[in-house]
Structure 1
Amino acid sequence: MVDVETFIPEAKAEIAEAIGDDNAVIALSGGVDSSTAAALAYDAIGDQLTPVYVDTGLMRKGETEQIRETFEYMDSLRIVDATDRFLDELEGVTDPEEKRHAIGEQFIREFETVAREVEAEYLVQGTIYPDRIESEGTIKSHHNVGGLPDVVDFDGIVEPMRDLYKDEVREVARELNLEEIISERMPFPGPGLAVRIIGEVTAEKLDVAREANHVVEEELEEYEPWQALAAVIGKATGVKGDNRVHGWVVAVRSVESRDGMTARAQEIDWETLQRIQSRITGENDTVSRVVYDVTHKPPATIEYE
C-alpha cells in the first residue's frame, strides 16, 4: 500500500519539476483517477494548470453537471462539448480496439485545441498501473495509454500516479480531502459507454446504455460493488404489450475486486435482479430483455470491450 504522506509531496514535486514555468492541461473525467491527478497538479502549479473536461457524449447520466459542481473551485476549468465530433469518429466502427484508438485520438485532439488557446506545453493524465499493464500487454488499449495517437502535440505527458493501483489512488484522494462522491466513486472506463456497447456506437444505443447504467448503479449501491454496469450487447425478440418486438439486450454486471486486475462476479439476490430488469425494460420500450453476467475476471474482462 502506498505511503500517502510520502507520495503526495513527491508527486507534487514531480509535477512542478516537469512543468517548470510552462502551462499544462489535465484530462479531467470526474473519476477518482483523473480527479486525484487534477488535485495534485492544481496544488503543485496552480494557475499554470487548465483542467479540461471533455463531454464526449459517452458519459454517465448527469456527469457533466456533476463535474461543473464539484470542480467549480478551479477557476480555469474548461468544459468542452465534443459529442458530435466523437460520434462522427465512431460512425461505422465496430472493432473494440479501433474504437479505443479513435476515442484516444479524438481526446488528444480536443486537449491540443485547448492547449493552443492557453499556450500549454504539457498534458497531465490520471493513468494508473493497471492501465499500463493492460495496454502494454495484449488485453486492451486504454485511451490514455495504448490508445494515444502516434503524433501528440505536447512537449511532454506527465502521469504522477502511473505506479498506483486503484485502491491506492483512493487513499491519496482521501488524504487530499476530495469529496466522498469522488474518492469512493465507482470506476468508469475512459472510453465511457462506448465500451459498454457491442458493435457500432449510435445515439440510440447510448441512450439505452446511459439509462440502464443509471438504474444498475442505483439498485446495486447497497451491495457496494467495486464496479457495476450495464452493457448493450445485441438484439433479441421480446413482447411489449400485444406486440412482438426485436429489442435491445442489456447485460448487467457487478463485480468485487481490489485493484481491477482480477474480479469476482457478485451474487445478487433474485428480487434485486428482477427489480433491475423491470426498471430497465419498463423505462425503455426498445429493450426486450435483461441478462446477468456471472463470469469472473479472468476469463472475462470487467468491461465488455
Structure 2
Amino acid sequence: MSAVSEKLAAAREDLKSRDGVLIAFSGGVDSSVVAALAYDALGDDAIACTAKSETLPAAELTDATRVAEEIGIRHEIVEFSELDSEEFMQNDDMRCYHCRSMRLGAMYDRARELGIDIVCDGTNASDTGEGHRPGLRAVEELDAYSPLLEHNIEKSEVREIAREYDLSVADKPSMACLSSRIPTGLEVTEERLSRVEKAERLLRTWGFEQFRVRDHDGLARIEVGEEELETALDPDFVRTARDHIEDCGFDHVTLDLHGYETGSVSPETEESAEEDVVSNVFDADYPSVD
C-alpha cells in the first residue's frame, strides 16, 4: 500500500468513527475530497454545506452544487453576508480571519440545526506553510476538524486522491474568495466585489483557466497563468479585454506581466519583506543601453 493510500485509509476510518459530519464545502478540490471521503465513510450522515455570500462567485456556487451531485452527498446552502461586519470591510491583514470566522460560524449554526456536532473543512498539510494565513486561526479557534491536515495529506496528494475518486475538480485551480482581489487596506464593498466577479466571468468565458482580476480602486490588474500569458498579450485580446472589462465598472485595465501570483495584494510575509524591492522605478540603477 502506498503512503497516500495509507493516509487515505486512515482518514476514512477516522471519519467513520464519527456520528456525523458537516463539511464546509466550496466545491474546490480540497473540500471535495473531504466530502467524498466523508460520504464514503458515513453515507447519509455526511452533509456538504456551502456558504453563499457576496464574496462567492455565482459560478463557484453552481460548480459546488454540481460536484456535490457528482459525489452523491446531500448539499445544504447557508446564506450570510461578510459585509455585515465592519471589521471585514476594513480589509486589514486579518480580513481572512473575520471571513472564516463568520463562514464557519454559519456552518456550525446549520450543523446544530441538523443535530451534528462536527464541522470539517478542507485545510490540507501544505496550507500551514504558505505564509500569511489568518483564516487558519479561525479554524483552530472554532475547533473545526481538518481531516486532510490531521492525516498529513498534502496538496499534491489531495489531487491524487481526487483522481482516485474520479472527481471532475481534481485539477481545478485554487479559487480564493472575491475579497482576495482587493488590496489590503482598500475597503471591501459590494461594488468592487461585483465588478471583479463580472470581469473574471469574462476571462473564464474566454477560456482562461488560472487568473485573477485585482481591483486597485477602479484599475483592473489582470493576472493570468504563465502558460496563458502569450494569449493575453495578443493585440486582439488586449482590445477586447480593455473594452469589455471597462464595461464591468473599471476605469482602467492593465495586464500584469508577472502573471498569476497567489496573494499578490495580501500582506507581505516575513520572508518577502526581507527581499530587495525597488519602490520607485525612477530611482533604480538600470544598465545603460548605449
**How far did residue 171 of structure 1 move?**
1.7
Match of 1:269 in 2: 233
Match of 1:206 in 2: 193
**How far did residue 265 of structure 1 move?**
9.3
Letter in 2 for 1:304: V
Letter in 1 for 2:9: P
Deviations 1:197-239 (CA, angstroms, capped at 9, x unpaired): 2311111111101011112233353xxx5x31111111xxxxx
Letter in 1 for 2:137: G
2:180 to 195, 215, 218: 195
Letter in 2 for 1:289: H
1:253 to 198, 218, 223: 223
Which structure shows the bigger proportion of residues in strand conformation? 1
CA contact (8 A) 2:57 2:178 kept: yes
Count matched residues: 259
Distance in 1, Cα, partners of 2:224 & 2:92: 21
Let me know the Cα RMSD of the aligned residues: 2.7
Q: In the TM superposition, what are the counterparts of 1:1-305 in structure 2 within 5 Å?
A: 3-17=3-17, 19=18, 22-72=19-69, 74=72, 76-82=74-80, 85-90=81-86, 93-134=89-130, 139-143=131-135, 145-148=136-139, 150=141, 152=142, 157-161=145-149, 163-179=152-168, 182-189=169-176, 192-198=177-183, 199-221=186-208, 227-234=210-217, 248-256=218-226, 266-267=229-230, 268-271=232-235, 272-281=237-246, 283-284=247-248, 286-295=249-258, 301-305=262-266
Distance in 2, Cα, partners of 1:90 & 1:251: 26
Deviations 1:256-283 (CA, angstroms, capped at 9, x unpaired): 5xxxxxxx994542333443223211x3
TM-score when normalising by structure 2: 0.79
Letter in 2 for 1:255: G
Larger gyration radius, structure 1 or structure 2: 2
Moved more, 70-79 or 202-211: 70-79
Cα gap change, 1:132/1:54 in structure 2, threshold over 3 Å: closer, same or farther? same
Deviations 1:79-128 (CA, angstroms, capped at 9, x unpaired): 1122xx32111567334423111101101210110111112121211112
Distance in 1, Cα, partners of 2:162 & 2:134: 22
CA contact (8 A) 2:49 2:107 kept: yes
Percent of aligned pairs with the same amino acid? 23
Letter in 2 for 1:294: L
Unaligned residue ranges in structure 2 (runs of 5+): 267-290
Unaligned residue ranges in structure 1 (runs of 5+): 235-247, 257-263
Deviations 1:118-148 (CA, angstroms, capped at 9, x unpaired): 12121211112332113xxxx32252x1344
Match of 2:285 in 1: none
Distance in 2, Cα, partners of 1:39 & 1:188: 19
Cα gap change, 1:88/1:252 in structure 2, threshold over 3 Å: closer, same or farther? same
Distance in 1, Cα, partners of 2:72 & 2:207: 32
TM-score when normalising by structure 1: 0.75
Cα gap change, 1:273/1:12 in structure 2, threshold over 3 Å: closer, same or farther? farther
**How far did residue 193 of structure 1 move?**
0.4
Find the residue that maps to 2:204 and give its secondary structure: helix
CA contact (8 A) 2:87 2:98 kept: no
